[in-house]
Amino acid sequence: MNLVFLGPPGAGKGTQAVEIARARGLTHISTGEILRAAIRDGTPTGLKAKQYVDKGELVPDGVVVDIVSEALAGGGSSTGWILDGFPRTLAQAKALESKTSETGVKGVEMVLYFAVPDEAVIKRLSGRRMCRACGASYHVDFMPPANDGVCDRCGGELYLRDDDKPQTVRNRLAAYREATEPLVDYYIEKGLLVEVKGDGGPETVRAAVEDILGERFC
């Protein structure tokens, strides 16, 4: 089962990807998470990516395509993968197709498009808190941790990502509209896109995703 999770920032892709990958034994590949780890560790990729991520702009295609190629080549689960936050441009989508066909690996089988209105995105991102240590994601109203500011999973410190601050969120939404939204039509034409109503709570969205996956993959 090879899936792409597509949608605006704050659509809940990451939250759903973690849960579904765990439940179904899939490899979860989040380019955002990989980039944040690279920035934290000060690697050459991290140094290159930081200026874009901090401003809410897209990191150049070549950088993220390399990250994903490496993650896919790393093997992982034979059950399949979830690409979360990739592709975000047409060039990335095409690069992914070339990579999978070059290596004889099965390509994308379904694109789940999480549709969420802008106002909901802004509300979600401003209340989102992330764990500095393990990257787990919470929301102060919709998915609070048991203890304020502390990660349930690892006890790490929770923080508001710099790129979840209002001005940067506006840039991220603009980048999404311009570069990423055209992928919706691209994948509709390929017959791969299925829309999920993403503006409910995490459990409601999860149930909708499971229904779709159950119908297609059993």
The answer to whether residues 113 and 6 touch, using CB atoms and an 8 Å cutoff, is: yes
Q: How far does Cα 210 stand from its chain's mean position? A: 17
To ligand AMP, the closest distance from the beta carbon of 47 in angstroms equals 14
Among 29, 53, 82, 111, binds ligand AMP (CB under 6 A): 53
Task: Single out the catalytic residue among 48, 55, 94, 161.
Answer: 161
Among 7, 12, 32, 135, binds ligand AMP (CB under 6 A): 32
Verify binding: residue 16, ligand AMP, rule CB under 6 A: no
Q: Which residues of 152-163 are buried (b: 16+ CB within 10 A; e: fewer)?
A: eeeebebeebeb
Please state, in angstroms and rounded to a whole number, the distance separating the CA atoms of residues 185 and 154. 40
Comparing CB distances to ligand AMP, the nearer of 6 and 26 is: 6
To ligand AMP, the closest distance from the beta carbon of 66 in angstroms equals 11
Containing 6, the helix (H) or strand (E) segment is strand 2-6
Kindly identify the residues of this chain, within the stretch 112-141, that bind ligand AMP according to CB under 6 A.
none
Among 172, 193, 196, 213, binds ligand AMP (CB under 6 A): 172
Please state, in angstroms and rounded to a whole number, the distance separating the CA atoms of residues 100 and 169. 32
The answer to whether 161 is a known catalytic residue is yes
To ligand AMP, the closest distance from the beta carbon of 9 in angstroms equals 5
Please state, in angstroms and rounded to a whole number, the distance separating the CA atoms of residues 61 and 51. 14
The answer to whether 216 is a known catalytic residue is no
To ligand AMP, the closest distance from the beta carbon of 218 in angstroms equals 29
Token pair recorded at residue 66: 């390399």
Verify binding: residue 164, ligand AMP, rule CB under 6 A: no
Token pair recorded at residue 126: 């401003």
Comparing CB distances to ligand AMP, the nearer of 177 and 216 is: 177
- Residue 39 burial (C-beta neighbours within 10 Å; 0-12, 13-18, 19+): middle
Verify binding: residue 45, ligand AMP, rule CB under 6 A: no
The answer to whether 13 is a known catalytic residue is yes
The answer to whether residues 108 and 4 touch, using CB atoms and an 8 Å cutoff, is: yes
Task: Return left, alpha or beta for 6; rule: phi > 0 is left, psi -120 to 50 is alpha, else beta.
Answer: beta
Among 5, 81, 86, 138, binds ligand AMP (CB under 6 A): 86
Among 2, 27, 31, 45, binds ligand AMP (CB under 6 A): 31
For residue 143, the 8-state DSSP code is B
Q: Which residues bind ligand AMP (CB under 6 A)?
A: 9, 31-32, 35, 52-53, 56-59, 64, 85-86, 88, 92, 163, 172
Catalytic annotation, residues: 13, 88, 128, 161, 172
